[in-house]
Structure 1
Amino acid sequence: MKKAEYASRGPVPQDVISTVEMNLPPPAEGQVLIEVLAAPINPSDVLTLTGEYGQLPPLPAIGGNEGVGRVVELGSGVDAQWRGRTVLLPVGSGTWRTHLLATAATLVPLPDGVDVQQLAMLAINPPTALLMLSEFVNLQPGDWVIQNAANSGVGSYLIGIAKARGLNCVNIVRREAAVESVRAAGGEIVLVDGEKLAKRVAEATGSAAIRLGIDAVGGAATDNLARCLAPGATLINYGAMSGEPCQISPASFVFRDITLRGFWLSQWFKTADAKRRAEVFGEIGKLIASGTLRAPVQATYPLDRIKEAVAAAAAGERSGKILLLPNG
């Protein structure tokens, strides 16, 4: 058994983490032992290693917040039906390891016969996309939404969920090289951020009223999106890929009544009840199983190459997610 552990944080994320051996006791009553099949490296994971994320675990810590695994051993009192089941790993459980223990009653079973690499990315990016489309503006089929960082993990899921709901989506990227990957993910309108974005969006949409904007970049990109929105629209920020705080003209607030809100999935987890969580994950699981939702994977790494994997995830201009396959 092995784990990817860090005992400090620093500006170069791959420098603080390494693969070490570990031991786990047999599962206790009500517990199961899970073999980790796949676990992604998300931007939030990289920020956790650098110490810049909004919620940091005590040190030393095992990296990783989501993934998928297979139940391989049962503790006493656990129903035999769990043996061999594919399950969603508990969010925030330190998933960059070969095995982990979990309470059977808290596990979410996943459909069999589905690509485990796609299922491994179910717990963070897809619900982020789904909830931003659901929780702020009551969108109906035919309505419009605009997002930047459309080539990101959240961006690709948002395209799929919007299409499944009959929504029209304008997709903004920061470089020309990202356009084709977004089109391959189903994005029909893809534009590069920059000068006169609002004018170009109006031309591409026939001056449609866009009631929801979704910003992952911050800085001047926030204001660029705000200028594309209809009066009274809502703009959601969930990240700062630019490394800069959101910039938005007072005119957007004063004269056009734009509302700027923030979204953090960790906060949603604190307030959502079990029924709502089951609804969200159930909807996402069905979309992944049907092939409606599919995120690009750039590369996979074994756990022993954790430093290379983190470096790849932290690098710019990726074409897809970096995944760990701890057990090959």
Structure 2
Amino acid sequence: MKKAEYAERGPVPQDVIAAVAMELPPLAAGQVLLEVLAAPINPSDVLTLTGLYGLLPPLPAIGGNEGVGRVAETGEGVDAGWVGKTVLLPLGSGTWRTHLIAEAKGLVALPDGVDVQQLAMLSVNPPTALLMLSEFVDLQPGDWVIQNAANSAVGSYLIGIAKARGLNLVNIVRRESAVESVRKAGGENVLVDGEKLAKRVAEASGGAAIKLGIDSVGGPATDNLARCLAQGATLVNYGAMSGEPCHISPASFVFRDITLRGFWLSPWYRNATPQRRAEVFGEIGRLIATGQLRAPVQATYRLEDIKQAVAAAAAGERDGKILVLPNE
């Protein structure tokens, strides 16, 4: 058994983490042993290693926040029928490891015959995309939305969910080389950020009123999106890929009544009712199972290569997610 552990944080994330040997205690009553099949490296994971994320675990810590596993063994009092089932790993459990112990009562079984690499990314980016399309503006089929970082993992989920809901989407990327990957993901109306973006967006949308903007870049890109929005629209920021604060002209607030909001998934997990969680994950699971929701995977790495995996995830100009396959 192995785990990817870090005992300090630093500006170069791959320098602080390493794969080391691990032992687990015997199962207690009500517990299961999970074999980790796949776990992604999200931007929040990289920020956690550098110490820049909003929620930091005590050190030493095991990397990884989500993933998918297979029940390998059950403890006393747990139905043996769980053995062999594919399940979500508990969120925030340190998923970059070969095995972990979890409480059986919290297990979420996943459908059989579905790509485990896609299922491994179910807990963070898909609900982020779905909730940003649901929680801020009452969107109806035919309405228009604009997003930047459309080639990101959240961006690709937004494309799939918007299409399934009958929404029109304008997709903005930061470089010409990313256009084709967004189109392969099913994205339409793909434009490169830059000068006269609002004019180009108006041409692509036929002058439609865009009710919702979704920003993951920050800096001047935030204002570029704001200028594309309709009177009274909402702009939601959920990241800062540029490394800069959101820049937005006072004119957008004063003269066009644009609202700027922020979104972070962690409070939603704390506050959502079990029924609401079931609704969100039910919709996401159905879309993944039917192939309507799929995120590109750039590369996969063994746990032993965690330094290279983190370096690849932290690098720019990726067109897909980096995944760790601990038992490969």
Q: Tell me the TM-score normalised to structure 1 length.
A: 0.99
Q: CA shift at 1:324, angstroms?
A: 0.4
Conserved? CA contact 1:26–1:33, under 8 Å: no
Q: CA shift at 1:5, angstroms?
A: 0.1
Does structure 1 residue 30 correspond to structure 2 residue 30?
yes
Conserved? CA contact 1:3–1:96, under 8 Å: yes
What SS does the aligned partner of 1:108 have? Answer: coil
Which amino acid in structure 2 is aligned with residue 5 of structure 1? E
2:203 corresponds to: 203
Q: CA shift at 1:273, angstroms?
A: 1.4
Question: In structure 1, what is the Cα distance between the partners aligned to 2:27 and 2:238?
Answer: 37
1:13 corresponds to: 13
Does structure 1 residue 263 correspond to structure 2 residue 263?
yes
Question: In structure 1, what is the Cα distance between the partners aligned to 2:37 and 2:225?
Answer: 38
Which amino acid in structure 1 is aligned with residue 183 of structure 2? R
Aligned length: 328
Report Cα offsets for 1:150-202 as digits up to 9, x if no partner.
00000000000000000000000000000000000011100000011000000
Sequence identity (%) = 83
Report Cα offsets for 1:79-128 as digits up to 9, x if no partner.
12211110000110000000000001111110011000000000000000
Which amino acid in structure 1 is aligned with residue 46 of structure 2? V
1:62 corresponds to: 62
Which amino acid in structure 2 is aligned with residue 316 of structure 1? G
Which amino acid in structure 2 is aligned with residue 207 of structure 1? G
What SS does the aligned partner of 1:276 have? Answer: helix
Question: In structure 2, what is the Cα distance between the partners aligned to 1:192 and 1:170?
Answer: 11
Does structure 1 residue 41 correspond to structure 2 residue 41?
yes
Question: In structure 1, what is the Cα distance between the partners aligned to 2:203 and 2:81?
Answer: 56
Which amino acid in structure 1 is aligned with residue 185 of structure 2? A
Q: CA shift at 1:51, angstroms?
A: 0.5
Q: CA shift at 1:26, angstroms?
A: 2.0
Q: Give the unaligned 5+ runs of structure 2.
A: none
Which amino acid in structure 2 is aligned with residue 45 of structure 1? D
Does structure 1 residue 247 correspond to structure 2 residue 280?
no
Q: Tell me the TM-score normalised to structure 2 length.
A: 0.99
Q: How does 1:1-328 map to 2 (within 5 A)?
A: 1-328=1-328
Root-mean-square deviation (CA), in Å?
0.5
What SS does the aligned partner of 1:134 have? Answer: coil
What SS does the aligned partner of 1:277 have? Answer: helix
What SS does the aligned partner of 2:322 have? Answer: strand
Report Cα offsets for 1:252-301 as digits up to 9, x if no partner.
00110000000000111111111111111111111101000111111100
What SS does the aligned partner of 1:69 have? Answer: strand
Which amino acid in structure 1 is aligned with residue 160 of structure 2? G
* Moved segments of 4+, more than 3 Å: none
Question: In structure 2, what is the Cα distance between the partners aligned to 1:251 and 1:319?
Answer: 34
Q: CA shift at 1:25, angstroms?
A: 1.4
Which amino acid in structure 1 is aligned with residue 73 of structure 2? E
Which amino acid in structure 2 is aligned with residue 243 of structure 1? G
What SS does the aligned partner of 1:214 have? Answer: strand
What SS does the aligned partner of 1:109 have? Answer: coil
Conserved? CA contact 1:176–1:192, under 8 Å: yes
Question: In structure 1, what is the Cα distance between the partners aligned to 2:326 and 2:278?
Answer: 27
Question: In structure 2, what is the Cα distance between the partners aligned to 1:160 and 1:167?
Answer: 10
